[in-house]
Amino acid sequence: MNPYKKFPDKNFWGKQVANLAPDQINYDAAPKFQFDLETEKFATAGSCFAQHFARELVNMGGKHHVAEPAHPLLSDDEKSGYGLFSARYGNVYTARQLRELLEQAFGIREPVIDFAQDKKGKWFDLLRPRVSKHGFSSYEEALRDRLYHLKKVKEMFSNIDVFVFTLGLTELWHNTKLDCAYPICPGTAAGEFNPDIHQFHNQSFSEVHQDLADSLRLILENAPKTKILLTVSPVMLVATAEERGALQSSIASKSILRAVADQCCREFDAVDYFPSFEIITGPQARGRFFTADGRDVLPDGVNTVMGCFFRSRVSAGGLATSSPTSQTEALEENTTHDIITEAFEVDCDEILLNRS
Amino acid sequence: MRVSEVSLVGHSHSVCMLDGLGNWRTNRVNVPEQEDKRYSQAFQGWFSNDLADQSIELELKRETGQPVPVKCFPIFEGSRGTGLVIPKREADNKLRLTATPTFTNYLREFTSSDVIISTLFGNEHARYIYINDLPAYDFIAFDRQGEGLKEGVQPIDRQHILNILEPFVIKVKRPLQYIQAKLPEKHIVHLLPPPPLKDMRDASVSEVFEEHFEKHGQVDEELRLKWYGAYCLIVEKTLTKSGIRVLSSPKQCLDQDGFLLPKFAEGLTHGNAEYGKEVWAKIDKEILN
């Protein structure tokens, strides 16, 4: 007699994974909590992969709370940066970015103002360089928009039940003067790279853990009833600033993020992990969910992830019964075809590294 | 400038200009039996008449000198379409403007005038000035830098405001450019519409806005003036660049903030005969002298 004799099937690779079709595997075997799509409001943030979650959630009739929707005065062409996530923060790739964003939103630190002007005189917020497609007309307008954005981030946590955060990267560019982390290296999407103040940093496990744990504490202090769901983006790095190369950096980065997520789930009752990373990258998938270049995720992978999410995380009877579009709060109505097509078209700052 | 004749062409902002010259309705405008209660007396018939492209001949009595004949071409909303030129993109990707038959007729009539005064369009932005049907927002006034922006509401970049107003400005610009091209020797002057009232309760009638006000309420005075200021500034910049003179509302018709004084208002969005007289006095002083 030993403890393994009493373990359920899910605890054994041969029973949980081997010889099962991908859609038959119980990937998410021990969820801490489930969700009620009828009543619970979700907010999303993180890397590009988080955008898939928001879209599919809406498609299934879930409530994706958009705290900072595009104003009706804006034409479709002017709505860049809106509706991708719950607020107009753009991609929040790192736990450091999340912590700094929350600290500013909750008033723990002064808003970080780091704007750059392009040759046409337009202003860009380097902490979310792609939220305004054509830039702001003046420094004052960029400033007002940033302050309004931070106010909306704070409000967001008063209006949601679930916060889904997708960890994307450990590598970041840091402003030594302003002490802030960028989503992407200055000079790629906007601004100019200045080697005197823009420094590369690759976060260790303890640094990511510190930043994420601080972020979670901040959220739970301000919105104690929030359930937090962590995921790790399975999308590999576009480029690394480390010497070792993109493949090693990607795996190192994802491994750290996955380990930190695990650690935080142990430390916080209100925090759980959803294994989208494992579904896509695990050996059982045999790489079938990756695009030909092995970096990005195919729509089939997204569908498998979200199918698993709805099977294991949506409580019985909690599936939304009304039409999906009636549940949307800001995302536009899409057909299933559109959603699948658009699954490829997530707005990802990091891809700009390829162009630089 | 020695002026022997002036032409006036425009939409509903022509009414105060016509009233400022005298009684122009006699035998020309059929006032319908049933009063349109949305509008004041001055506008009865304006939206249902058609002068069949005929002009109304009046006279401007000047401060000094001989009166000047004024040939008026009011574009009645009831007439055959309010647009004057039809833009068409040609194969070479150039935009060609074609005049409507009404406008072609006006152009023929303009030839005897030295000055052409325009009150074309001017109310296209009014829904933004008056109807409070949008989530709270604010934008920086086009002539100021950041001051007066409301805290906590969504700031709208001025570029977006510009994008909204631009098509309205183009509507004004195209027919005037067409006149310029066809009659290059004429002096063209465009009159900006009067500003909004500070207190909308001072308007005798709410025109087409009444039901919207009941449903959505009214835009606050600061934002109202910002929209008006933005529209006027863009019209002025655009037309001045094309060599068209732009005249703003006479200062004596405005309060210290720039709102229209109630005694010069005809309903919610228009000036009255007294306003028209003040504008003619300004034209006399700044253009004809």
* Size of the A and B interface in Cβ pairs below 8 Å: 50
- Phi (first) and psi of residue A314, to 5 degrees: -95, 120
Which residues of chain B have a CB within 8 Å of the CB of A113? none
Alpha carbon distance A153, A150 (integer Å): 5
Per-residue model confidence as pLDDT tens digits over B252-284: 999 999 999 999 999 999 999 999 999 999 999
Mark yes or no for CB contact A73/B161 under 8 Å: yes
Does the pLDDT at position B125 exceed 50?
yes
Task: Check residue B1 and give its pLDDT.
Answer: 66
Task: Identify from A118, A131, A144, A154 which residue to disrupt to test chain B contact, counting B C-beta atoms within 10 A and taking the largest count.
Answer: A144
| Nearest residue of B to residue A147, measured between CA atoms | B152
Report, as an integer, the average pLDDT of A60-80. 89
Residue of A nearest to B164 (CA): A73
Pairing of strands A41-46, A162-167: parallel
Taking 50 as the threshold, does the pLDDT of residue A333 lie above it?
A: no
Closest Cβ opposite residue A71 in set B137, B146, B163: B137
Q: Which H/E stretch holds residue B115? A: strand B115-119
Contacts of B134 in chain A (CB under 8 A): 71-73
Q: Write the pLDDT tens digit of every residue in A245-260.
A: 999 999 999 999 999 9
**A354 CB within 8 Å of a chain B CB:** no
Stretch 118-177 of chain A: residues touching chain B, C-beta under 8 Å: 132, 134, 136-138, 140-141, 144-145, 148, 151
Contacts of A82 (CB under 8 A, 6+ apart): A66, A68, A69, A70, A74, A88, A330
What does the pLDDT read at residue A147?
96
Q: Inform me whether the C-beta atom of residue B163 falls under 8 Å from chain A C-beta atoms.
A: yes
Residue A354: pLDDT over 60:
no
Residue B56 has pLDDT above 90, yes or no: no
Summarised one tens digit per residue, pLDDT across range A107-140 is 999 999 999 999 999 999 999 998 888 899 999 9
pLDDT of B197 above 90? yes
In this structure, are residues B157 and B139 in contact, taking their beta carbons and an 8 Å threshold? Answer: yes
Give whole-number Cα distances, A340 to A39, A187, A266, A281, B15, in Å.
26, 32, 35, 20, 57
Q: Do B152 and A78 touch (CB under 8 A)?
A: no
- Which band of pLDDT confidence, cut at 50, 70 and 90, is reported for residue B146? low
Q: Is A191 left (phi over 0), alpha (psi -120 to 50) or beta?
A: left
Whether B155 contacts chain A with CB within 8 A: yes
Task: Identify which of A78, A140, A151 has the shortest CB distance to residue B140.
Answer: A140
Cα-based distances in Å from B165 to A84, B137, B147: 28, 17, 22
Return d(Cα A253, Cα A310) in angstroms, integer: 28
Q: What is the pLDDT of residue A323?
A: 39
Q: Which of A72, A75, A137 sits opposite B157 (nearest CB)?
A: A137
Cβ proximity of A154 and A114 under 8 Å: no
Partnered with residue A45 across adjacent β-strands are A165
Check B163 against A78: CB less than 8 A apart. yes
State how far residue B154 is from chain A, nearest Cα, in angstroms: 7
- Chain A closest-CA separation from residue B214 CA (Å): 21
The per-residue pLDDT for range A143-182, each reduced to its tens digit, is 999 999 999 999 999 999 999 999 999 999 999 999 999 9
| Residue B10 scores a pLDDT above 70 | yes
pLDDT recorded at residue A89: 94
* Residue A320 pLDDT exceeds 50: no
How much of chain B is helix, strand and coil, in % rounded to 5?
A: 35, 20, 45
> Residue B51: pLDDT band by 50, 70, 90 thresholds?
low
Q: CB–CB of A238/A295 below 8 Å?
A: yes
Whether residue A145 and residue B164 make contact (CB cut-off 8 A), yes or no, is no
* Cα distances (angstroms) measured from residue B78 to each of B11, B12, B36, B47, B82: 11, 11, 14, 5, 9
- Give the pLDDT of residue B281: 96
Asked if residue A329 lies in contact with residue A65, where contact means CB atoms within 8 angstroms, the answer is: yes
**Which residue in chain B has the smallest CA separation from A75?**
B160
Q: Which residues contact A125 (CB under 8 A, 6 or more apart)?
A: A114, A115, A131, A132, A136, A142, A145, A146
Could you give the residue ranges of the DSSP H alpha helices within A171-315? 205-222, 246-267, 276-281, 299-313
Of A71, A136, A138, Cβ closest to residue B135: A71
Name the DSSP class of B285: I
Interface of A with B in 56-75 (CB under 8 A): 71-75
Report the percentage of chain B scoring pLDDT > 70. Answer: 91
What DSSP designation does A289 have? T
pTM of the predicted structure, to 2 decimals: 0.87
In 3-state terms chain A splits into helix, strand, coil percentages (rounded to 5) of: 40, 15, 45
CB-based contact B87:B171 (threshold 8 Å) = no
Rounded to an integer, the average pLDDT of B65-72 is: 91
Does residue B119 have a pLDDT over 90? Answer: yes
pLDDT of the residue at B88: 87
**What are the φ and ψ backbone dihedral angles of B209, each rounded to 5 degrees?**
-90, -10
Is the pLDDT assigned to residue A326 strictly greater than 50? no
Identify whether the C-beta of residue A104 lies closer than 8 Å to the C-beta of residue A148: no
User: Tens digit of pLDDT for each residue in A81-116?
Assistant: 888 899 999 999 999 999 999 999 999 999 999 999
pLDDT of residue B28: 63
So what's the pLDDT on residue A330?
39
Residue with structure tokens 């058609």?
B50
Look at residue A182 and give its three-state secondary structure: strand
Beta-bridge partner residues of A162: A42, A227
Residue of B nearest to A144 (CA): B155
Say what the pLDDT of residue B55 is: 81
Is A141's CB within 8 Å of B154's CB? no
Give, for A195, the enclosing helix (H) or strand (E): none
Is the CA virtual torsion A305, A309, A311, A312 positive or negative? positive
The answer to whether B167 contacts chain A (CB < 8 Å) is: no
- Please, which pLDDT band fits residue B31 given cuts at 50, 70 and 90? low
Contact A145, A139 (CB under 8 A): no
